[in-house]
Amino acid sequence: MICNHKSKSGCRWKRRKDARPEEILDAALQLFTEKGFSSTRMIDVARAAGISKGTLYLYFDNKESIFRDVVKQRITPQLDKVESLVDHFEGSEAELLRNLINGWWMSIACTPLSAIPKIIVSESGNFPELAEYFTQNVVIRSRNLFSKVISRGMISGEFKRYEAETVARLVVAPLVQATIWMHSLKPYDDDSGTQNYLQLHTEFILNNLLKNPAVKLPGDH
């Protein structure tokens, strides 16, 4: 940030103004997670972000536009990077698939974004346009990345032949289910058996895909 002879207070004001959209997104996602999308009001978001309702409307028309911006700012850039990784990766498809699974887990399940699958599933009937937006811009795009890697592995002979998109669904579904569980039943369930969930899921997938599952991959123990 460059002040250009402005006072310190002016500099702080500029930084605060520039940071407002990010603060709004953070506050809104937390409220969507805790209260639910339907129950969250624009005034709630404004208060949580430390701004007036009028100021909030300078940035967003409604909470649907806030949610779309969460996707655009927090998820879309990650998908852009992963697509580039898939296109330029030089290792085996099995290694890349493992990286994709681990990367999805670290960037979604281990962050506040983990609440989004539950939000969408629980609110899809009330906000069908939002559900369609998320499906088209996140769900299908993400699944296509997995499908592309799986398909390449099958074509190269590294993987057994299956229907690639169906396998991609089998890869992604348990990951999404785990995030929904985190934000719903986890407080009431015994999670002592979930520590190796990601590792076992990855091993099950690769052991059934690889023509030669005895081959050790980076990350194998």
pLDDT digits over 179-216, tens only?
Answer: 999 999 999 998 777 778 999 999 999 999 999 866 55
What's residue 83's pLDDT? 97
pLDDT higher than threshold 70 for residue 158: yes
What's residue 14's pLDDT? 42
**Mean pLDDT confidence for 143-157:** 97
Q: Say what the pTM is.
A: 0.84
**Mean pLDDT confidence for 17-25:** 80
42 confidence band (pLDDT: 50, 70, 90): very high
pLDDT higher than threshold 60 for residue 174: yes
How many Å apart are CA 143 and CA 82, to the nearest integer?
A: 12
Q: Buried b / exposed e across 25-64, counting CB within 10 Å, b at 16+?
A: bbbbbbbbbeeebeebebebbbebbebeeeebeeebeebe
Phi, psi of 210, rounded to the nearest 5 degrees: -65, 135
Domain annotation for the chain: domains and CATH numbers:
9-61 (1.10.10.60), 67-221 (1.10.357)
What's residue 217's pLDDT? 52
How many Å apart are CA 121 and CA 129, to the nearest integer?
A: 13
How many Å apart are CA 40 and CA 31, to the nearest integer?
A: 6
Burial (CB count <10 Å: 0-12, 13-18, 19+), residue 141: middle
pLDDT digits over 78-91, tens only?
Answer: 999 999 999 999 99
pLDDT digits over 107-124, tens only?
Answer: 999 999 999 999 999 999
Closest CA to 206 of 197, 196, 217, 195: 217
Question: In 10 A of CB 74, how many CB atoms?
Answer: 19
How many Å apart are CA 70 and CA 74, to the nearest integer?
A: 6
17 confidence band (pLDDT: 50, 70, 90): low
Helix (H, G, I), strand (E, B) or coil at 7: coil
| Integer CA distances (angstroms), 53 to 22, 24, 32, 49, 73, in order | 16, 11, 17, 10, 22
